[in-house]
Amino acid sequence: MRAGEIFVATAHGDPRPFSVRTPQGSVRPLGTRFSVRLDPDRTMVGVEEGAVELRPLRQPDLALRVAAGESAYLTQWAPSRAEPLPAQALAWTRGQLIADDERLGDFIANLSRFRPGILRCDPAVADLRFSGVFPIADTDHILALLPNSLPVAIRQVTRYWVTVVPRAG
């Protein structure tokens, strides 16, 4: 895997070997449903059902088993500890984006994965926090809703170059 995020469903006991390889290591399913997201320096894994095994590229003996309802990340050197899977982690597989007391900057970075072009958040408003459930099919509508609940404006240079900025005034 070179970029992005995938959701994988495999059968338990399938004789065909399968794994997801990333620059940080590999994810091997053990009859499961799980997501793999490639970030710049780590691979994020969320397990909905079954379990997966994470193996870092540079230290493959440091394997970590991640069970249903857990998430973990993997660097080239080590896996993190498994933690509870956040409710919003797999919402994208249901066509939703969920913010639960989330930083606006993090939300915009996540939203940009579902939108063509450049979507940025001005550092002056990046630490604002909010919550909501949004359908990812219409990212323009999500952006149009933000000024209703936050002191922000949407600066649109073109459809493909958008920045969330502080509201004037």
Distance of CA 99 to the CA centre of its chain: 12
Nearest to 165 by CA among 143, 137, 142: 143
Domains of the chain by residue range: 5-84, 91-166
Q: pTM of the predicted model, to two decimals?
A: 0.77
In whole angstroms, what is the distance from residue 150 CA to residue 153 CA?
9
Report the pLDDT value the prediction gives residue 98, as an integer from 0 to 100.
93
Nearest to 107 by CA among 94, 125, 95, 93: 125
Question: What string of pLDDT tens digits covers the 169 residues of the chain?
Answer: 888 889 998 877 767 778 899 999 999 888 789 999 988 899 999 999 999 999 999 999 999 999 999 999 999 999 999 999 988 888 989 999 999 999 999 999 999 989 999 999 999 999 999 999 999 999 999 999 999 999 999 999 999 999 999 999 7
Is 1.10.3720.10 the CATH number for 5-84? Answer: no
Is 1.10.357.10 the CATH number for 91-166? Answer: no
